[in-house]
C-alpha cells in the first residue's frame, strides 16, 4: 500500500492508503489532466480529472541510459514532458515503427541520445 505523507513524512490525516495500481491510475489521470490544461488554457479554475485523454506526442527518440547502458524509448508530450520507457532494443524498434505507422507520417524523432 502507498501512504500519503507530508514534506516531513508524517501521514496526512484523512488520506487513506492506496494500492500501487490505484496510484498508477491516479498518475495517469493527473498527466492527462495536465495535458488538457496545456491544450486549452484559460478554461476556468475548476477541472475534472480526465482518465483517458489522448496525449499528443511531440517528439520520439531512443537511446541508452549511460550508467547501465539500458535501452530506452523517450516520448515527449505536450507541454514538453519527456517520458522514459525501458525496453529491450527489439521492442523499442517495434514501438518506433508502430508510432510512425500510426502518425501517418514519420513521427518527429531525434537521433539516439544518452540519458543519465
Mean pLDDT by 10 residues, the chain (116 residues): 90 92 84 73 60 76 80 83 86 85 57 51
pLDDT of residue 107: 43
- The residue ranges of DSSP E strands in the chain, in sequence order, are 57-65, 70-77, 81-86, 113-115
pLDDT for the residue 18: 92
How many whole angstroms separate alpha carbon 100 and alpha carbon 116?
Answer: 26
pTM beyond 0.75? no
Burial 63-88 (b: 16+ CB within 10 A, else e): beeeeeeebbbbbbbeeeeeeeeeee
Amino acid at each position: 500500500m502507498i501512504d500519503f505523507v507530508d514534506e516531513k513524512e508524517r501521514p496526512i490525516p484523512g488520506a487513506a492508503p492506496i494500492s500501487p495500481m490505484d496510484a498508477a491510475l491516479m498518475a495517469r489521470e493527473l498527466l492527462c489532466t495536465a495535458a488538457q490544461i496545456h491544450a486549452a488554457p484559460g478554461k476556468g479554475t475548476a477541472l475534472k480529472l480526465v482518465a483517458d485523454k489522448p496525449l499528443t506526442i511531440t517528439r520520439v527518440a531512443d537511446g541508452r541510459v549511460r550508467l547501465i547502458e539500458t535501452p530506452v524509448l523517450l516520448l515527449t508530450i505536450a507541454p514538453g514532458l519527456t517520458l522514459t520507457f525501458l525496453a529491450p532494443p527489439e521492442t523499442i524498434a517495434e514501438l518506433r515503427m508502430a508510432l510512425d505507422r500510426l502518425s501517418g507520417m514519420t513521427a518527429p524523432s531525434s537521433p539516439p541520445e544518452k540519458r543519465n
